[in-house]
Structure 1
Amino acid sequence: MYLTLAFLLIVLVVYVLFGGADFGGGPLEASLTRYPHLRSKLQGKLAPIWEANHVWLIAIVVILFVGFPKFFSALSEYLFVPLSLALCGIVLRGTFFTFRKYDPEPEKSFKLYSFLFRASSTLTPFCFGLIVASFLTVFPDRAEASFYDMYVAPWMTIMGLLCGLFVMTMFGFLAAIFFLGELQLEEERKVIEKRAIGFFVGMFITGGFVLAWGGMGGIVDISDASTPMQIALQVIALVCVPIMWKVRSHVWYLRLVAGVVVATILAGWFATQYPVFMMFTGGSELTVQNSCAPDKTLFLLNVGLVVVLLLVLPPLVYLYKVFHGYTASNK
């Protein structure tokens, strides 16, 4: 069970780092209205091949479906609306990006497709934030719930709005950091550095509002500095931020530290949530223990995950390497 949870956290972190940087390209592109040449370069990096990152999203679904079927069933039912919106965003952003790039008459439709690409790229991380925030609320029991209470109320909250904005800024920050390493001219780097700093400040502001609102609503205890989420934020503030500032001229170090920042946030949330997946008004809970599959199923799932990772990782690494070389030769 704990090994399966570890796989879930690892795959979630990988998806947020790579897929999040991909989604963040939309907000980052929207912030470059005065720099069309940088937009063009960014569009050259956001190729449809990055959709291969969604192999990690599929892995998350498989782990939840096989390893924690009761939780997956409740998740699919209560959060059907934001999950569907996120799925639409994932599909539409790739669609509009492709239409924008390969339309035979781009001068007629480029602006429309660009707007729709940015909108769908922003919608998806916002929906992810709504989903995360819903786990901090109390879900209604099925027998007593109205349609609104069951399908809308858990995610249509102020906490959901704040978490959605937080995830959007976090993905924009990742996109800026990853894109920074693809630029050679100092003037262009300075522009993207400012965007990265802006998104990072946005992360801290929205994250602060999330913790403050959670504390007032009794959802998250922020008075105790020893809670996992507080410890994660302290590590980021005291360790990661100074290191990022010091290594800002070293691309790969900067990317590594930025990845550590995001992974620390996810690990802090994961630890704060553990062991409860969902709480219900009747007092019942869906926990890691009471929603997991039998031990034999978990064992086979873990073996399968190891085999799949060994089969998938080498082609993915080769894919990124080949495509990075292709885009570099077409700068």
Structure 2
Amino acid sequence: MTAVNAMLVVIVLSLTAYALLAGADFGGGVWDLVARGRHADDQRALISASLGPVWEANHVWLIFVIVSVFSAFPTAFGPIATSLELPLALALVGIVLRGAAYVYRAYGGGAALPDRWWGRIFAGASVLTPFMLGVSGAALATGELGPHSSPTQPFKSTFALTAGVLAVVVTAFLAAVYLCYNAAQHQSTAHLVAIFRRKAMGAAVAAGVVALAMLPAFYHDAPTVAARFTDRSVPLAALSAVCGVGSLVVLWRKHYVLARATAALAVVGVLGGWTAAQYPDLMVGVYTAAQAAAAPQSVDAMLIAMVFGMAVILPSFYLLLRVFSRPVVEDH
């Protein structure tokens, strides 16, 4: 494996970690937004308790992606950032507003705005960011972006817009599955298990429907990547489909630990299928990875830095998740 391909692997692994961890956090905001009924406050309390220990730490994976692309593929970094300036800026706005709203609602005691308004900002931003990130990733595959493309160009593709919707639905699915497990760990939240179980199963079905509806637009708007998808990514798409159906089965049987594994593998299949089809392009029709790569010495140095960084981050992250894997929610 070349150093350039090794850096691509680092980027894909970081994206996957961000999708599985931060994605579930964003999905929690989706369920916060739509929580209704007499247990709505309990649902929001569980979501807040589950996010509390790790909600900001998960962004380290996004930082890994940005630093890796900037350092290893500097020629493409500028055009990517410029052509995606609007969706990426909106995604960043969502990240900032979501963090601020979460802190004010959890710890501010009604500072500046009533808690219900901070809750709405938190939930709305949790939908905005994954949608914009989904649009950004899909837009790179269309071949319609370039250094001089319009800021609104990413939104002109039906495929990109549908990918944004899929990203939101997938994060909601992950969050509901994780929350089933969290709710089952504490007596005071056991009554929420059935609620999040229904949400998880509904989101799994919705994700499958959106993915199928996206296929015609995919082949129309991103023909180059779609052709590679047919050649390379069918096994990964099959893995995603099988694990998605498997998640429905294990959720029905109330095996929530196994459901977390099948849900994660379903998302890995989606991301793996996309990255396999996108390779070797960073921006279809503009830059391949080899064309945009930095000098070999710089790529080698970046790989060494990433190895040392992972040696610090991975054990620390594992310890963080281990310590706070069972959030405590106060009895009502």
TM over 0.5: yes
Post-superposition offset of 1:260: 0.8
Match of 2:200 in 1: 196
Determine if the alignment matches structure 1 residue 158 to structure 2 residue 163: no
User: Using the alignment, how far apart are the partners of 1:247 and 1:19 within structure 2?
Assistant: 23
Compared with structure 1, are the counterparts of its residues 41 and 77 closer, same or farther at alpha carbon in structure 2 (3 Å cutoff)? same
Per-residue CA deviation, residues 14-66 of structure 1 (Å, 9 max, x unaligned), is: 11100100111111222321232222222221216421011111100111011
Compared with structure 1, are the counterparts of its residues 318 and 288 closer, same or farther at alpha carbon in structure 2 (3 Å cutoff)? same
Aligned mate of 1:215, from 208, 216, 219: 219
Does the 8 A contact of 2:142 with 2:221 survive in 1? no
User: Using the alignment, how far apart are the partners of 2:324 and 2:232 within structure 1?
Assistant: 38
Match of 1:289 in 2: 290
Compared with structure 1, are the counterparts of its residues 205 and 134 closer, same or farther at alpha carbon in structure 2 (3 Å cutoff)? same
Determine if the alignment matches structure 1 residue 32 to structure 2 residue 31: no
Aligned mate of 1:130, from 125, 129, 135: 135
Determine helix, strand or coil for the equivalent of 2:14: helix
- The TM-score, its normalising length taken from structure 2, stands at 0.88
Compared with structure 1, are the counterparts of its residues 189 and 153 closer, same or farther at alpha carbon in structure 2 (3 Å cutoff)? same
Match of 1:20 in 2: 23
Q: Which amino acid aligns with 2:298?
A: T
Match of 1:270 in 2: 275
User: Using the alignment, how far apart are the partners of 2:227 and 2:292 within structure 1?
Assistant: 30
**Bigger mean CA deviation after superposition, 300-309 or 48-57:** 48-57
Compared with structure 1, are the counterparts of its residues 68 and 218 closer, same or farther at alpha carbon in structure 2 (3 Å cutoff)? closer
User: Using the alignment, how far apart are the partners of 1:205 and 1:247 within structure 2?
Assistant: 20
User: Using the alignment, how far apart are the partners of 1:86 and 1:52 within structure 2?
Assistant: 17
Q: How many residues align?
A: 320
User: Using the alignment, how far apart are the partners of 1:250 and 1:57 within structure 2?
Assistant: 31
Post-superposition offset of 1:222: 6.0
**Bigger mean CA deviation after superposition, 28-37 or 266-275:** 28-37
Post-superposition offset of 1:81: 1.1
Determine helix, strand or coil for the equivalent of 2:284: strand
Post-superposition offset of 1:108: 6.5
User: Using the alignment, how far apart are the partners of 2:65 and 2:157 within structure 1?
Assistant: 25
RMSD: 2.4
Within 5 A, what are the aligned runs for 1:115-264? 115-139=120-144, 142=147, 145=148, 149-184=149-184, 187-217=191-221, 219=223, 226-237=230-241, 239-248=242-251, 249-264=254-269
Does the 8 A contact of 2:11 with 2:65 survive in 1? yes
User: Using the alignment, how far apart are the partners of 1:302 and 1:9 within structure 2?
Assistant: 14
- The TM-score, its normalising length taken from structure 1, stands at 0.89
Does the 8 A contact of 1:138 with 1:279 survive in 2? yes
Post-superposition offset of 1:197: 1.3
Note the residue ranges of structure 1 that are not aligned, 5 or more in a row. Answer: none
Post-superposition offset of 1:169: 0.2
Post-superposition offset of 1:212: 1.4
Compared with structure 1, are the counterparts of its residues 329 and 151 closer, same or farther at alpha carbon in structure 2 (3 Å cutoff)? closer
Note the residue ranges of structure 2 that are not aligned, 5 or more in a row. Answer: none
Match of 1:11 in 2: 14
Compared with structure 1, are the counterparts of its residues 53 and 193 closer, same or farther at alpha carbon in structure 2 (3 Å cutoff)? same
Determine helix, strand or coil for the equivalent of 1:50: coil
Post-superposition offset of 1:106: 7.3
